[in-house]
Amino acid sequence: MEIKVVTEDILGINTPAIIIGLYEDSKELDSVAKILDEAMGGAISQLRNGQEIKGSSGEFTLIHTLGRIPAQRILVSGLGRKNNFDLNTVRALMGNASRYLRAKGILSFCTTAYGIESGILKPVGCGQAIAEGAILGTYQFHNYRTNKENQGNTEEITIVSRESDLSGSLEIGVRQGEMIANGVALSRDMSNTPANDLTPSKMAEIATTVAREGNLDITILDRSNMEKLGMGALLGVARGSHQPPKLIALEYKGDPDRPKHVLGLIGKGVTFDTGGISLKPALNMENMKGDMTGGSSVIGAMKAISALKPKINVTGVVPTTENMPGGDAQRPGDIVRAMNNKTIEVINTDAEGRLILSDAMVYAVRKLGVSHMVDIATLTGAIIVSLGSVRIGVFGNNQEWIDQVVRTGNDGGERMWSFPMDDDYGEQLKSTFADMMNVGGKEAGSITAAKFLSEFTEGVPWVHLDIAGSYRMSVDKGWHVKGSSGGPVRTLINLALADSF
């Protein structure tokens, strides 16, 4: 898809369709809508006054111009209430509108830059949101279809601005939005790819390409490196699989003057989770190909960060393995020793995510000098019970850092909700035979999982994002399409761009 910005008179533009926006709670048409309305002999205001156009969010009305202006159609899209209008409205609208037009075979079109002239939105942010919404909302994953004859995909979007001094800023935003969307798309691609192709070795290969293209340092640990480092928890999970485990570390050094200031992004990379010997039921098990979405989020974010080049150090760490019930698989009751020497009684082999993350987190702090951590994991079914697929569960050991991550997530539309971490919950992990168990029983499963992880933070500020509810979407909606959401890639990127820790 190509996205262009032009400064042009809206009445002079020849295009199959032009998108304009209308608020639900403002009777006045804005300046662009008014110009088009007059040229169309009042068609828009008539529909509006007759309540055929309400302006509610998600509403689309396609008006044919029948030669009155060079643009062949006007797509009037509802922006919802003016008070709720923000960049996420634009991002969602562009996804919905692009798919709406694509379904009618309209693959090139123009859009106005919503909210800029009124000053509600800044042009850089608006350009970025338009690009992200359009690219992510028309994302397709057709790698496994033999019948390639699909209807095609959106080819060209032109943002029309009436003032040339806004065009430059819109353009900067669009280019940033493209880099960010490409990172999200890479994560979606990995997450949608089935586990027979997306193995731990394949993840390492993809990360190697990202590193080469983005000039990142990369380290890939194999089984023997892990043995030397004492990563018994990660190795225990990997025992049941014929696929060798990998630990991938990507380092972006954007601020060499502050070598001790390093944002660490740690992503769970279980390329398939059968549960291991504590085998999962068959129903919906195919979705466990996405159990590496924390890891792909990190790789996607690192790709975008290497393109955006912010002045900050960011290190991504992805422990990756399958969780399989092979003949040498670990058993319930086995005790493993993590890299920080803590011993873990593996009560349930299906609680594998926390095991592989524990070694990765210790490695990130001790060997890579990470000073602030965010881990991202499809960790618990319990978070789906709590939050559904709407919000990401947030846990952590430092309120300021938690607040910052939650704010960043919510601002970008990757909505979050933070959970309590009272010490009492940690008591559920007490083991008769080892330092801790890897599960804490039926109650508060997402919190006890986070409590387990908190034993491996090595004293640095840490936030845990449980994305088991939000890594996968069941319908097309806004900038999301059915299939992998890609994970909170944009939040991770925005944390790096904000650098306010």
Query: Residue numbers of the site for Mn ion (CB under 5 A)?
Result: 273, 350, 352
In whole angstroms, the minimum distance from the beta carbon of 454 to Mn ion comes to 19
- Residue 246 token pair: 């990998």
The residue annotated as part of the active site, out of 122, 280, 342, 415, is 280
Q: With respect to Mn ion, which residue has the nearer C-beta, 298 or 356?
A: 356
Q: With respect to Zn ion, which residue has the nearer C-beta, 291 or 322?
A: 291
Nearest to 470 by CA among 388, 375, 351, 357: 388
Residues in region 415-434 near Zn ion by CB under 5 A:
none
Q: With respect to ligand BES, which residue has the nearer C-beta, 219 or 431?
A: 431
- Report whether 13 contacts 110 (CB < 8 A): yes
Task: Could you list the beta-strand ranges (E) of 260-371.
Answer: 262-267, 269-273, 313-323, 335-337, 343-345
In whole angstroms, the minimum distance from the beta carbon of 188 to ligand BES comes to 16
- Is residue 354 part of the annotated active site? The answer reads yes
Residue with tokens 């979705």: 287
- Report whether 315 contacts 252 (CB < 8 A): yes
The residue annotated as part of the active site, out of 48, 99, 354, 451, is 354
CA 38 to centroid of chain Cα atoms:
42
- Is residue 162 part of the annotated active site? The answer reads no
Residue 348: name its binding partner from Mn ion, Zn ion, ligand BES, none (Cβ under 5 to 8 Å by kind): ligand BES
Q: How far apart are CA 242 and CA 49, in angstroms?
A: 66
Q: How far apart are CA 23 and CA 54, in angstroms?
A: 8
Residues near 457 by beta carbon (within 8 Å), at least 6 away in sequence: 361, 365, 373, 397
The span of 176-184, 268-276, 410-418, 463-471 binding Zn ion (CB under 5 A) equals 268-276
In whole angstroms, the minimum distance from the beta carbon of 351 to Mn ion comes to 6
Residue showing the smallest CB distance to Zn ion in the complex: 273
In whole angstroms, the minimum distance from the beta carbon of 288 to Mn ion comes to 8
Residue 381: name its binding partner from ligand BES, Zn ion, Mn ion, none (Cβ under 5 to 8 Å by kind): ligand BES
325 to 33, 92, 237, 330, 381: CA distances (angstroms): 62, 42, 10, 8, 20
In whole angstroms, the minimum distance from the beta carbon of 463 to Zn ion comes to 19
Residue showing the smallest CB distance to ligand BES in the complex: 381
Residues near 478 by beta carbon (within 8 Å), at least 6 away in sequence: 91, 92, 93, 95, 96, 133, 137, 413
Which residues of this protein are in contact with ligand BES, per CB under 6 A? 273, 291, 348, 350-353, 378-382, 439, 445, 468
Residue 173 host element (H or E): helix 164-192
In whole angstroms, the minimum distance from the beta carbon of 377 to Zn ion comes to 8
Q: With respect to Mn ion, which residue has the nearer C-beta, 11 or 279?
A: 279
In whole angstroms, the minimum distance from the beta carbon of 350 to Mn ion comes to 4
Q: With respect to ligand BES, which residue has the nearer C-beta, 128 or 470?
A: 470
Residue 96: name its binding partner from Mn ion, ligand BES, Zn ion, none (Cβ under 5 to 8 Å by kind): none
Helix/strand/coil for 485: coil
Give the number of residues in contact with Zn ion, rule: CB under 5 A: 4
Among 178, 189, 291, 466, binds Zn ion (CB under 5 A): 291
In whole angstroms, the minimum distance from the beta carbon of 350 to Zn ion comes to 7
Q: How far apart are CA 393 and CA 149, in angstroms?
A: 40
- Report whether 282 contacts 161 (CB < 8 A): no
Residue 161: name its binding partner from Zn ion, ligand BES, Mn ion, none (Cβ under 5 to 8 Å by kind): none
Residue 481: name its binding partner from ligand BES, Zn ion, Mn ion, none (Cβ under 5 to 8 Å by kind): none
Q: With respect to ligand BES, which residue has the nearer C-beta, 447 or 468?
A: 468
Residue 382: name its binding partner from ligand BES, Zn ion, Mn ion, none (Cβ under 5 to 8 Å by kind): ligand BES
Q: With respect to Zn ion, which residue has the nearer C-beta, 99 or 289?
A: 289
Q: How far apart are CA 429 and CA 449, in angstroms?
A: 9
The residues with which 88 forms a beta bridge, in sequence order, are: none
Give the count of beta carbons closer than 10 Å to the beta carbon of residue 51.
8
Residues in region 347-366 near Zn ion by CB under 5 A:
353
273 lies in the binding site for Zn ion (CB under 5 A): yes
466 lies in the binding site for Zn ion (CB under 5 A): no
Q: With respect to Zn ion, which residue has the nearer C-beta, 214 or 319?
A: 319
Which residue blocks in 193-281 are alpha helix, DSSP H?
A: 200-214, 223-229, 232-238
- Report whether 470 contacts 485 (CB < 8 A): yes
By annotation, the residues acting in catalysis are: 280, 354
Interaction site with Zn ion (CB under 5 A): 270, 273, 291, 353
